[in-house]
Amino acid sequence: KYSWCFILVFFAFTNCFSQNADPNSGLIPAPFSIKKNPGKFFLHKRSIIQTDLKDNKAVFFLSSYLQQFKNINDTLRNDTAASVIVLTNIGADTLPDEGYRLSITPKRITVTGRDAGLFYGVQSLIQLLADTKTQVTSTLNCMAIEDHPRFKYRGVHLDVSRHFFPASFIKEYIDLLAAYKINTFHWHLTDDQGWRIEIKKYPRLTEIGSMRAQTLIGNYHDRMPQQFDHTPYGGFYTQDEIKDIVKYAADRYITIIPEIEMPGHSLAALAAYPELSCNPKRTYKVAETWGVFDDVYCPSEYTFNFLEDVLTEVMQLFPGKYIHIGGDEVPKSIWHNSAFCQHLIKKLKLKNEHGLQSYFIERIEKFLNDKGRSIIGWDEILQGGLAPNATVMSWRGEAGGIAAAQQNHNVIMTSQNSGLYFDKAQGKSDQEPLSIGGYAPLQQTYAYNPVPQVLTAEQQTYIIGVQANLWTEYIGTTAKVEYMLLPRMLALSEIAWTPLANKNYKDFSETRLPRHLNRLDASCINYRVPEPIGI
């Protein structure tokens, strides 16, 4: 009799111990609060989803997940099943934006949330349903989660100009973002090395501007200096593909911010339409090497008309509030030597070429503001004075972001020195594939806090979020995109979502990360295997 009792106590103890060993139940990003309760919920063939919500993205996402991965069909039938997943927005009005409640009891799971909140509750549930070893475990420990994000802007970027990745891969990328509660995809669509978005009014942008005269030789394992052959390389997204991707992202509560670079990083456009330059008689080539090029848009009426036409088509494709207008790395030598520009500087009573850059950005901002949109620019848009309503992406460190917040402008932190540049190597080993230079290990990404302590509490509210950038000069394949993105993006998701007090690198990397890497393995997604703590 006593031995039974002993065994029971022993099981209760080990069960309790194993739950405590994983205080966040494997979730990435770790939630705001999580309380473990006794008991288990069993998911089985006859489990159903119960909901009053019509035509709801979260409901649709969960029922297709259950069909695809758990082989549970017909989840929306009316039935008195023994185990029920309730999706509801009743009681959700008290939740913060994008927040959700997830309650697991022996007979019933309830996910409560509005819009994105409900979707994130479903994402957490799906993470709990995916076991470490198999994809089919269907037993969940009872618990109650209350969750909402630390920042409202949680972004990941991809440069598709330096290398082009097909529309189908962009959707896979979006799937990864959504699974980790990232809500913004910054799509870097134009640069010196390729124009990647179809613009109906200017067909040469893609006919000429999307192709360059060389292809990178080698694969993603290469640690050799890059070599090229002379077969043409390029690609672009048609407007139909873009519409499809925008909808795909919206179904996952991801807003896409398109970036149209100006006035610099514009050689591909100049190659297509030399009239956009200050020396229209010259011919230009789409760049075949990396770096910063002197040839930039001329601040002429021709250029402004062109950009307004381009942005008009861009706005028709991308319904979100923000358009990214670039603004980084604009050499001023051509403007300095151009009689037209010098005349313009005098006429507009500007101080110098920096003033001309601000004039350029402010004109574009006004055009977009009048259409109800807002601009984001890289931190160089501070030079010569910020456009009145601009949001700043602070990439050359935090100084630009701090200055912008002090001027009451919204800021997104994306500093290249803080583990957010995923084009840097993840390890110091010479086994790492070739990359841009520098080092951004997982632990550095994880440790980053986007809110600079030098700001007052009031100024800190202008830091609306954080983003990681994936520039692709040295990334020619989708497998290498995945390798550079992962697992660092999981650390980013925790910077962006989890309250500071709940962050813990050991818990993240040793307790929770392994099951996520298994999940990536099961989906045949590439990643870098992180080294144990302390190496």
Nearer to ligand TNX, 123 or 414 (CB): 414
| Interface mask toward ligand TNX for 472-491; x: CB under 6 A | -x------------------
Q: Are 216 and 228 in contact (CB under 8 A)?
A: yes
- If the CB atoms of residues 131 and 328 are measured against ligand TNX, the closer one turns out to be 328
Distance CA 317, CA 242 (A): 7
Minimum Å gap between C-beta 278 and ligand TNX is 21
Residue 116: what are its φ and ψ, rounded to 5°? -60, -35
Closest separation in Å from C-beta 472 to ligand TNX: 8
Tokens representing residue 186 in the block: 């910054």
Work out whether 187 is an interface residue with ligand TNX (CB under 6 A).
no
273 lies in the binding site for ligand TNX (CB under 6 A)? no
Which position among 65, 151, 165, 378 is part of the footprint of ligand TNX (CB under 6 A)?
378
Interaction with ligand TNX in 431-470: which residues (CB under 6 A)? 436
Smallest distance from ligand TNX to CB 398, Å: 14
Q: Which is nearer to ligand TNX, 43 or 325 (CB)?
A: 325
Is 423 a binding residue for ligand TNX by CB under 6 A? The answer is yes
Is residue 422 near ligand TNX by the rule CB under 6 A? no
Q: Is 395 in the site for ligand TNX (CB under 6 A)?
A: yes
Smallest distance from ligand TNX to CB 471, Å = 3
Among 222, 308, 313, 329, binds ligand TNX (CB under 6 A): 329
**Closest CB 18 distance from ligand TNX, rounded Å:** 43
Number of H helices and E strands in the chain, helices first, is 18, 20
Q: Which is nearer to ligand TNX, 147 or 259 (CB)?
A: 259
Q: Which is nearer to ligand TNX, 405 or 475 (CB)?
A: 475
Q: Is 113 helix (H, G, I), strand (E, B) or coil?
A: strand
Among 195, 202, 359, 471, binds ligand TNX (CB under 6 A): 471
Of the candidates 341, 190, 339, 171, the residue with the CA atom closest to the CA atom of residue 271: 190
> Which structure tokens are listed for 485?
């993105």
The nearest distance, CB 318 to ligand TNX, in angstroms, is 20
Catalytic residue among 172, 241, 288, 329: 329
Between CA 376 and CA 324 the distance in angstroms is 5
Closest to ligand TNX by CB, 61 or 422: 422
DSSP states of 171-203: HHHHHHHHHTT--EEEEE-EETTEE-B--TT-T
> How many residues bind to ligand TNX according to rule CB under 6 A?
9
Is there a catalytic annotation at residue 329?
yes
259 binds ligand TNX (CB under 6 A): no
List, edge to edge, every strand of the sheet that includes 139-147.
33-42, 139-147, 100-104, 108-113, 84-88, 48-51
DSSP codes joined into one string, 319-375? -SSEEEEE------HHHHH-HHHHHHHHHTT-SSHHHHHHHHHHHHHHHHHHTT-EE
Sign, CA torsion 257/262/267/269: positive
Other residues' Cβ atoms within 10 Å of the Cβ of residue 144: 15
Buried b (16+ CB within 10 A) or exposed e, 69-94: ebebeebeeeeebebbbbbbbeebee
CA atoms within a 13 Å half-sphere pointing along the CA-CB vector of 517: 17
Q: How far is the CB of 415 from ligand TNX (least distance, A)?
A: 10
How far apart are CB 423 and ligand TNX at their closest, in Å? 5
Over the window 402 to 421, marking each residue x when it contacts ligand TNX by CB under 6 A and - when it does not, the resulting string is: -------------------x
Q: Is there binding between residue 328 and ligand TNX (CB under 6 A)?
A: yes
The 3-state DSSP class for residue 500 equals: helix
Pick from 373, 399, 375: nearest CA to 386 = 375
The contact set with ligand TNX (CB under 6 A) reads 328-329, 378, 395, 421, 423, 436, 471, 473
- List the catalytic residues: 329
